[in-house]
Structure formats: C-alpha cells, structure tokens
Amino acid sequence: MKKFALIGMVLLCGWSPDPAIETDEMDEASCVSTDPPVYYAIDLVSTRKLPGTRLASGTVDMTFQASPFGIAVGSGGHYRYNLNGRIEKMKPPREGVYVVWLSTPDLDQVHLVGPLGATMTFEGAVDWQKFLVIVTLEKSFDPAQTRWQGPVALRGLSRSGMMHTMAGHGPFQSEPCAFFGYK
Amino acid sequence: MTLSLRYLVFSCLLLPAGAAVGQGHEGHTMHHHPPADSAEVTWRMPPMDPSMPMMPGIEKEIPVVAPFLPAASMAKSALPTARERAIVELADGDTLRMEAAMVTKTIAGKTLTMYGYNGQIPGPLIRVDQASKIFVQFVNNIELPTTVHWHGLRLDNRFDGVPGVTQDPVNRGETFLYELTFPDAGLYWYHPHIREDIQQDLGLYGNMLVDAIEPEYYSPANREEVLVLDDILIDALGPIPYGRESPTHTLMGRFGNVMLVNGNPNHSMQFRTGDVARFFLTNVANARTFNVTFAGYPMKVVGSDVSRFEREEWVESIPIGPAERYIVEVRFDRPGDVAMTNSIMAINHFMGEFYPHVDTLSVIQVLDTPSDVDYSASFQTLREHHAVIEDIDVFRPLFDKPVDIHLELGLRARGLPVSIMMAMEIDTLYVPPMEWNDAMPMMNWLATGEQVEWIIRDLDSGDENMGIDWTFSLGDVVKMRIFNDPHTLHPMNHPIHIHGQRFLVLEMDGVVNRNMVWKDTAIVPVGSTMEILVEMSNPGTWMMHCHIAEHLHAGMMLGFTVTDDSTN
C-alpha cells in the first residue's frame, strides 16, 4: 500500500522511476569517508632544487573552520579553511629551517604559517579564495619575516586555482581574448 | 513510465484552461514579445550579465518543456493586489481559514501575477504557544493542485502535506483540514509540496512562530523581526516562464535576480541606537544560499531550525541555505544608514575568477535616539542553553555508534545540448563547495527535469531516490553519513531536509561539531561528508530530500517509514 502511495507521490512530483539512462556520471567507486575532502586537497610538489627533496611530496587538507553553520564564510563571503599539511620523503635540512608560507597566486600578499615541524607537518588557516602553499628553506625562523628569502622546496596550488579563464578557449573559442583583457 | 504518460499526468496537474503553449524562442533579442497581459506564454531567455558570452551552439536552444505562467489568460486587473503579511495569534484549539489564491504584486516596477495565502505575501505569520494544537481549514483557489507542508513541525504524519503519501492533492475549489501541533519552540514555515519551483517561488510561503513554554527562553530584546529571504527571476515582461511538465534550471536551481525580504524588494527597517533586535530568518528561495550581514554590528547566533544552539556564538554573517532558519540577535550600537546585505564571493566561470558581490536586502536606519531600554549587558552575555544541552546529552552516548546508512549525492544527465555537456566537463576542473550565484544562467535554464536526474543513492543497498524504502521503529536513533560526490557531472551543494523528525549534525569532513542545534535541514557542500544523527521520534511515512526546488523535482528525494510498534 505504501509503495503505491510513494509511486503516486513520484508521479505528482513529475519524476519517472525508470528513466532510460544515457549518461551515468555517478562514480561507482566513490568512497565515503569522514576524512577531509580529497577533492580540495592540495598536492605539494618538489622543485627538486634542494638536497634531500628530490623525492619529496606533500598534501594539504582543507576543512572548514569551526562554524555554527557547518560551512565557514566571513562577512565578505570568503571561505574560511583550516589547513593541515604533511610532507613525505623529505630529509631535514643540513642547515636552516623549512618554513611554510601562503600566498595569493600573483604573490602580492604573503602570509607566514610557521616552521615545518619535526614530523614534517604543519597547520594553518586561510580565507583566500585562490592561494599557493609554499615551503622554503630559510636560514632561520623569524616570526617577523614577511616574505621568504630562501629557495623554494615545495609548492602547491589550491584546487580553486584550476578555475581558469575560458576566454579564447574551449567552448568560447569564438570570443577574442583581447576583448576580455587577455592577450 | 513513458514520456507521453508523464506529460498526461502533468497536463492534468498543470495545464490551466485556455493557456496557449508558445514554441518560439524570442528571448535572446528580447523583441517581438506578446503584450504582458497576453494569454500566450513563450520562452524568454533569462536575464544574464551582458559581459557573459553566449556559448556557441546554444543561442537558439529553448527548454524541452513547454513554458508556463500562472493565470496567463486572466487580466491582472481582475486579481486583488497582494497585501502585507498579517500576524495571526492563535490559541489552543483555534482554527485558521487559509486560502491559496492568485494575486498581483508590483516588483521592480512590474505588476506580476503571483500567488498568496489569504491574499498576502508572505502568508500570515501564525503565532502560537508551544504544545498547542490548531486547525487550518485550507482552501485552494489557484489553478494548480497544491498541498501545504508545515516545514520543521514534528506533527501528525497525516498532516505533513506530501501528495500521494500523506494526502491527495488539493485541487482548485477543494479544501483540506490540517491539524497542527507544536512540540518545539522556535521558527517554522509552510509552503506547497507540489511544484514548489512554481508555487513557492510565486509567493506561497509563510512562517509559524512558536512561543516557548520555558520562561526567558530568549534574552530580552527591544525588537523582534521575522524576515523571509527570497529572490525572484524576472525580466521586463515579468517572471521568466516556468517549465510546464517539469522544472527548468535543474542544474543549479532557479536563482532570482531581484532580492526580496518579506516579499518586498525595497524592504527597510528603523532602529534606535543601542537597540537589541532579534531576527528570525527563513530562506524560502528556490536555490540561493544567502550570506546575510548586518554592516558589522555585533551579532550572535541563538537558534536554528528546531531549537536553540547549545551555546550562543558571536558571528560575522549568517550563511543560510534554502529552507533553513536562523535566529540571531544584533545590537545597533551606533547610529547610521546601513544595509542588511547578502555578501558573497561570486564566481565568473568565463573569466575563471571569484569576485565580491553584494545585494542590499534591507535598508537600515539607526537613529541617533537612544533605546527605550538598555539591554546591552544581557546582549554581551553568551548564554549556555542548559535545556538544549541536557536534551542532547541523552543522545551523546550514541555519537560514536557505527554508521547505519551511507548516502551519496550525485547527478545523471541525458539529452542536454552537446556544448553544455562539454562545458560542464571542463568546468569540473574546479567546482566550488557552494554555488552562491548562477554563474551559467543559459546552461542552467536549458537543463530541465526531463534531462537531469539528481540522485540520492543508498550505498549499502544500491537503491536510489524513491527506490529507497527504509523502515525504522519509533525511538530509533539513526546515524547517516552523506557524501556529496564532487566527481559527478555537475556537483552542487544540497540543503538536505528530513520531514517530521529532528537531527543533529555530528561532524563534517571529520571535524566534530562542538556546538549543536536540532536541525531539519542542513547544507552538504560539494566534496564534503556530513554525519547526522536522526531521532526517529514521529511515526509515519516521511520524505527526505534536497530543498532546492528544482533538484527535488528532478528526483532528489526518498521516503522512509517510522513504525510505532506499541500500536501494532
């Protein structure tokens, strides 16, 4: 009886329970996890310029900061994330210290996260929409330092950085890039 | 079910007598439209940012469903003008007569044909005492069949307002007697549960404010404001037509381009310096999540859907998804002319960038005159709500129980124009956790419920949507894990609503929720995994669905039954 009622509701809401599916975009292999979203995790890639970093790689997980609303956004609508990074297969520096930074993609703003811990992990927070995570080798850690001075060991780009202009590309190829300021 | 049969069903449900179906597509140039009062309904392309280029290959496309507008054959002059919401205070046992009927309302200089409850937009604000019972004698006088769903109430299942499950649709001229009970204090709302994308969007919504039995349930305030947040999609000729057989805008939902507060695009409020105002906010928009700000005045969040928070918190803004409610208190501690805004970081997919976007929701004037009563001391105190904490304490031992149900949210599509499919595939290089604006209005408009199916999949059984058929016993406490798959064709945030029960959000993405509130609707962002604990406290057959109206009508819903074994 209930089945009939449910089917009746479906009809009233305008949905057929047996559509002929042509495209199934649901990923059968998608795993469910309470871990941070894999999709938004940032891959840290070695520059291979420094001794002990040739095989190094890392991951930075992004989770919303604690919020009574579940999602965390500021009064300007910026997402607010906690960052939790870990680096593997990187040897401690012979001298100096690895320091983690955040930067906007055009490098006009830089934020010091802090030194990389002995366990090659770090924690930080960010409210930029697109950003870089950068690990540099500094002579020493100076909390007053506003911009890195040493060489870059690893770097990564937030997933949002992949949102790239389609002006002059893809389905918009008929549009002249220059018209939209891209030359 | 065949397409023709489905069309027949919808023809019976939606076809207003005398309404002609236009097939031409004249929207792109916005020329050659029939007069605004014409009975002819034709497709018009939704308004979009003129800097946004038209995707090659879809310039001449129109939705594959027929266009629909209400009362297209009726002269607007024959309809009454919508009135402002009235406050109706009802005592235990009282009956309210409530009629859904056609009205006109002027928005952005255009007189629109809309719907109203008792001739009002929003419908009457029903104010009752907690634990009371009232009756609503509902009359339908719109051309569409309808029902009334009493959102958030843990009421008798027979009166939940779901067609085909708890009642038959109420056709034009018919009545239905609802019996409403209010076990929980707070803010609730009512709306149709048939084609909400049309009926709710055109004005059929209203609030219920339930006064608590507990004394001093809230802190003292100088003012209380019940604000309904909404938007509507219109152009120079009025509302952009809706899909007749099934909704348009099924990818992202129908975002409006005119913001409404209590149905008013020019809402304003006036306070005195020092006033503490308690705002009861409800988002009734089809799809839009608002990020509400109060010009930097100090603000704390007090409650949400079905209870107060365990602890009040200072907040900068209130992100509120469709169907959610939040109760916040604001102290206007300095004079000035400011605005309540929707402040977001919007996305321009074409340029590949985020950009700040601000909508004025209400103009606020804070007078130099001081408040009558100074409540600043109580406002500065963040209260702990011990009754809420003690209520939740009963469930705390169950927070670590194994997950009972694993759900995954996704989408299937068929028959969309090839260029749209291509663009969506490119777009998935990055999808944001939340869609705050309609960044692809043309693609969204063209995607109808005939082509798009949103899916809730039970990973344990493999069942989907209305194929899911859970049965629980009264008193069961069920842990659900909901994963919003980012790798589906067009991922989007989903405000998931559960009828007739209440739930706690335990954690999201492994981050434990340290300040809980009883909810009936919660946003699951793209890529996120949310764990909720549902108290099956109310017997009957209930719905669980996405509250983006177009997603609901594109299939994103399931049913479950709570049995009362003591009565068997």
Shortest distance, CA A30 to any CA of chain B (angstroms): 7
Cβ atoms of residues B532 and B506 within 8 Å: yes
Shortest distance, CA A159 to any CA of chain B (angstroms): 6
A3, B469: Cβ pair inside 8 Å?
A: yes
DSSP for A128-156 reads -SS-EEEEEEESS--TT--S--S-EEEEE
Q: What is the Cα Rg of chain A in Å? A: 23
* B55 interaction partners in chain A (CB closer than 8 Å): 171-172
Query: ipTM value of the model?
Result: 0.90
B559, A6: Cβ pair inside 8 Å?
A: yes
pLDDT tens digit string along A41-81?
999 999 999 999 999 999 999 999 999 999 999 999 999 99
Candidates A36, A68, A160; nearest CB to B313? A68
| Mean pLDDT taken over chain A | 81
pLDDT computed for residue A22 by the predictor: 39
Shortest distance, CA B485 to any CA of chain A (angstroms): 7
pLDDT tens digit string along B335-350?
999 999 999 999 987 7
Share of chain A above pLDDT 90, in %: 67
pLDDT computed for residue A169 by the predictor: 56
A167, B350: Cβ pair inside 8 Å?
A: yes
pLDDT computed for residue A163 by the predictor: 85
The pLDDT confidence band at residue A4, using thresholds 50, 70 and 90, is: very low
| Residue B297: pLDDT over 90 | yes
Mean pLDDT of B2-29: 33
A76, B465: Cβ pair inside 8 Å?
A: no
The pLDDT confidence band at residue A171, using thresholds 50, 70 and 90, is: low
Shortest distance, CA A90 to any CA of chain B (angstroms): 27
* B410 interaction partners in chain A (CB closer than 8 Å): 25-27, 30
Mean pLDDT of B2-16: 34
- Please tell me the distance from the alpha carbon of residue B99 to that of residue B389, in angstroms, as a whole number: 40
pLDDT tens digit string along B264-281?
999 999 999 999 999 999
Cβ atoms of residues B394 and B387 within 8 Å: no
A-interface mutation test, from B508, B545, B551, most A Cβ less than 10 A away: B508
The CA-atom distances, in angstroms, between B55 and each of A169, B27, B61, B247, B448 are: 11, 15, 11, 22, 18
A-B C-beta contacts closer than 8 Å = 249
Tell me the whole-structure pTM to 2 decimals: 0.90
pLDDT computed for residue A178 by the predictor: 52
B356, A76: Cβ pair inside 8 Å?
A: yes
- Please tell me the distance from the alpha carbon of residue B3 to that of residue B11, in angstroms, as a whole number: 12
DSSP code, position A171 = G
- Please tell me the distance from the alpha carbon of residue B142 to that of residue B116, in angstroms, as a whole number: 9
B559, A64: Cβ pair inside 8 Å?
A: no
pLDDT computed for residue B50 by the predictor: 72
Mean pLDDT of A120-127: 97
